Amino acid sequence: MMPVLIFVVFIIIIIVGGYFGYLSSKKRREAMLVLAAKYGLQFNPGHDRNIARGYNFLDKLRAGSNRYAFNVLSGRFKDNDIIAFDFHYETHSTNSKGQSQTHHHYFSFFILTMPIIFPELKIGREGFFSKIGQALGFDDIDFESHEFSRKFCVRSKNKKFAYDFCNAQMIEYLLSNDDLTIEVDNHALAISFDRRLKPEQIEMNLERLVKIRSLIPNYLFDQAK
């Protein structure tokens, strides 16, 4: 009797968890639909694998397997072409019993399309993995601002572009928004997070994406004309 009761309780927990998960996803979609209507953006809640393929030059969109975007916002925002979405990928591991395990990863991603192609540049918080990268020969670019160099890891094969991009105004802005991870490559300016943001945080981060674009010196665009 006891094993049957445990099984029934287990099934009930799964059903209840699934129901609340459904309600949470529904609420998220509705909030993003309201945001899309506010700014005249398109919204697609379905899975989109073409985004990962189209932006496969961005490191974070190449991780793992079974990659897809969903809850996709796209269109013109403050006179810039943007796309923002939730993203999923899988990794796999084997436990001590030799059993294969699948791990699902979710995060939020924002991309602004720029009119010219830029070299690859990555800016993220200084941490354990960035220090490993330095130990393996992936040099972190240092700046006159010791606080900025201490907080952020900046990497690019084109150091001049890195110094031009990380001008005094950009450094000041990033120091006051030190949760941002930035990647520039090709036509894309991207910011990403290690989790799915709450719907009410999406508009704010679209604003921050546009702000970062505005702090890129105009001469970098003029040089390419």
Residues 164, 217: Cα–Cα separation, whole Å:
7
pLDDT on residue 40: 93
Q: How is residue 78 annotated by DSSP?
A: T
Q: Provide, rounded to the nearest whole percent, the portion of the chain with pLDDT above 70.
A: 80
For residue 213 the two structure tokens come to 């674009």
Does the pLDDT at position 7 exceed 60?
no
Collapsing DSSP to helix, strand or coil, 144 comes out as coil
pLDDT on residue 140: 81
Residue 148: pLDDT band (50, 70, 90) is very high
Higher pLDDT, 225 or 61: 61
Residues 184, 213: Cα–Cα separation, whole Å:
11
φ, ψ of residue 9 in degrees (nearest 5):
-60, -40
Q: Provide, rounded to the nearest whole percent, the portion of the chain with pLDDT above 90.
A: 62
**DSSP β-bridge partners for residue 110:** 84, 191
Residues 109, 84: Cα–Cα separation, whole Å:
6
Instruction: Report domain extents, the chain.
Output: 42-222
Left if phi > 0, otherwise alpha if psi is -120 to 50, otherwise beta: which for 96?
alpha
Does the pLDDT at position 77 exceed 60?
yes
Average pLDDT over residues 13-35: 63
Question: Structure pTM?
Answer: 0.83
